[in-house]
Structure 1
Amino acid sequence: MGKSIAPTGDAINRPVRYRGDASLHRLTSDSNHSEIRQVIMAKIVLAAGVPHPPRLVKEIEDSQEPLKSEAMFRQVRQHVEKAEPDVIIEVDSDHFVNFFYNNVPAFCLGLAEESEGPQEIWCPMPQYTVKGHVPMAQDLLSYGIGSNFDLAAAHELRLDHSIMIPLHFLNPGMEIPVMPLYVNGFAAPLPNAPRCFSLGQMIRGFVEQWGGNERIAIIASGAFAQDVGGPLRGWIDEEWVDTVSGLLEEGKYETLAGRATAERMAAAGNNSSELLNWITLTGAVGDTRPLFVETDNGSAYGVWELDK
């Protein structure tokens, strides 16, 4: 997939990198605390939403013609490269690899030092080992619980295609540590969309108070309207796709969260509650509007640039 997009070196131990106004590069002994925090504070530099068709890697390899999905992943990856993230928070819905109907947490944070995937033997793509960022994940867990989010924690994870397809294209060398954040998108009762939006806001608050200097990308993985093996298979609720993409483009994130009821998402197909992952992302981007939202077969590709 070409050159690695990851920065070299250990992101946790990396020296502070000074960016932005050149006056901030010349800190003196009488510089005040706020100036120092402006230089060294962690920040969300990029957010992106993408789909995760399980056979996409093979389809691209076998296709005699360029596919839209390949071009779109390439475009998103260019923005990831530009942002130079040190850590990725990937918001996803587990496809019954780690959890099943008898025990599905509303929200679960991955705390594994490393994980492997994809676990599905039928998913035609390379196998990878993905590094975690345990110190940050542990602090996010504590911060989340202190913010009244009863997050579950998983110290061991098996990564499925919905995590690995985006990483294959956007973090192909797997050098960038990844913190998986699972949102229940399949086993009713689902977390409601406004709660997922608030979860994203909590993540933003955590990053702003985190003591490191990491540059963080948030990636949401999932569809807007899709039915897998059900009575709506093959049909795409284009009206709902247009509604979702339009509200994203306009930056009307809370309006989207209000309209994305469990009933409305179910009407668009049994896989459509993956939209909750995107809604979680929107809670973390503040008032920033996307550079683009490009729909594709019931899903979409979108990028938010926050490092300005």
Structure 2
Amino acid sequence: MAKIVTAFGTPHTPFLPEQVSKAPGQLKPEAMMNEVRQRLEKAKPDVIIVFTSDHFVNFFYDHFPAFCIGVIDEAETTPETGCNMPHYSLRGHKKMAAALHRAALKSNFDLATAQEIKLEHTIMVPLHFITPDMNIPIIPIYNGGLAPPAPSARRCYSLGRMVRRFVEDWDGDERVALMASGSVSLEVGGPRDTSWFDEPWVETVKGLIRKGDYQGVARRATEQKMLAAGNVAHELLNWTTVFGALDGALPDYLDSQRGSVFAAWDLEDGR
């Protein structure tokens, strides 16, 4: 059977690649990305299931599903203002993604599907640093929290549990990585300055992660609390989905800068 061998989470700050290119080896976020990259390389995954949020590249208010899985053979990046990265092409794992979609429906998770997607910074900024060779296929699962009302954190946690069951039942030997993309506290284009973040909330979430109390995060991450932490702080839902698949495993790496958390889990022992 397949197994989840690692999980990780990072922010997807769009201007980070350019910042790092201008000051290599000098920025803390680059060092934290490298910590995560080293752990992913050690795990040697065959596929990465990516839990992310689309920032109005594939979806808009007139068509914004609560959850959508990309059932793709291949996808390419699209140019974005403020995100200076090379053009990338990534393979998907279409067979596994299609099976995951069917398993989700049987488990009462009504995921939409997309057979064509454009890759944007919410996926590509983490992978730019963590898998620079772009040689690991992905299965993207989008969360519609950017356009409230959002799925609840508890629903996302349950989706993560379902994904874990699917991987364990999958008739294959893939080594699977899980990726959570996004920040815990962040305001973009809202009334608060982008330098603002909810430090007590970030420390609360970090403390719960450190203890492995992932259900505690799901209980506390109400829609009101996430909105209070920033107009895009719903990105925590991507993390909460991964938490549901961890079975209580503790992180072997955890750090943060302002409203962004970086974490990695070694799950090789099957936990």
Name the structure 2 match of 1:175.
135
Q: Which residues of 2 match residues 226-265 of structure 1 at below 5 A?
A: 226-233=186-193, 234-265=195-226
Q: Which residues of 2 match residues 59-98 of structure 1 at below 5 A?
A: 59-63=19-23, 66-98=26-58
Compute the displacement of 1:65 (Å): 6.0
Name the structure 2 match of 1:136.
96
Determine whether 1:99 maps to 2:59.
Answer: yes
CA distance in structure 1 between the aligned counterparts of 2:38 and 2:83, rounded to whole angstroms: 25
CA distance in structure 1 between the aligned counterparts of 2:202 and 2:81, rounded to whole angstroms: 31
CA distance in structure 2 between the aligned counterparts of 1:65 and 1:169, rounded to whole angstroms: 13
RMSD of equivalent CA atoms: 1.0
CA distance in structure 2 between the aligned counterparts of 1:260 and 1:93, rounded to whole angstroms: 16
Q: Is the 8 A contact 1:119 1:159 kept in 2?
A: no
Q: Which has the higher contact order (CA 8 A, sep 6+)?
A: 2
Number of aligned residue pairs: give it.
268
Q: Is the 8 A contact 1:118 1:164 kept in 2?
A: no
Compute the displacement of 1:119 (Å): 3.6
> CA-to-partner distance for each residue in 1:118-163, whole Å, 9 max, x for gaps?
4414421111001000000000000000000000000000111111
Name the structure 1 match of 2:160.
200
CA distance in structure 1 between the aligned counterparts of 2:208 and 2:189, rounded to whole angstroms: 28
CA distance in structure 1 between the aligned counterparts of 2:124 and 2:215, rounded to whole angstroms: 29
> CA-to-partner distance for each residue in 1:13-56, whole Å, 9 max, x for gaps?
xxxxxxxxxxxxxxxxxxxxxxxxxxxx1000000000111011
Q: 1:231 to 1:174 in 2, by over 3 A?
A: same
One of 142, 145, 148 as aligned partner of 2:108: 148
Q: Is the 8 A contact 2:47 2:136 kept in 1?
A: yes
CA distance in structure 2 between the aligned counterparts of 1:118 and 1:245, rounded to whole angstroms: 33
Unaligned runs of 5+ in 2: none
Larger C-alpha radius of gyration, 1 or 2? 1
CA distance in structure 2 between the aligned counterparts of 1:140 and 1:86, rounded to whole angstroms: 16
> CA-to-partner distance for each residue in 1:215-265, whole Å, 9 max, x for gaps?
000010000000001112221100000011111111111111011000000
> CA-to-partner distance for each residue in 1:171-214, whole Å, 9 max, x for gaps?
11111101111011210110000000000000000000000000
Identity of aligned residues (%): 50
Determine whether 1:216 maps to 2:176.
Answer: yes
Following TM superposition, the consecutive aligned residue runs of length 4 or more in structure 1 with deviations greater than 3 angstroms are none
Name the structure 1 match of 2:253.
292
TM normalised by structure 1 equals 0.85
Determine whether 1:267 maps to 2:199.
Answer: no
Unaligned runs of 5+ in 1: 1-40
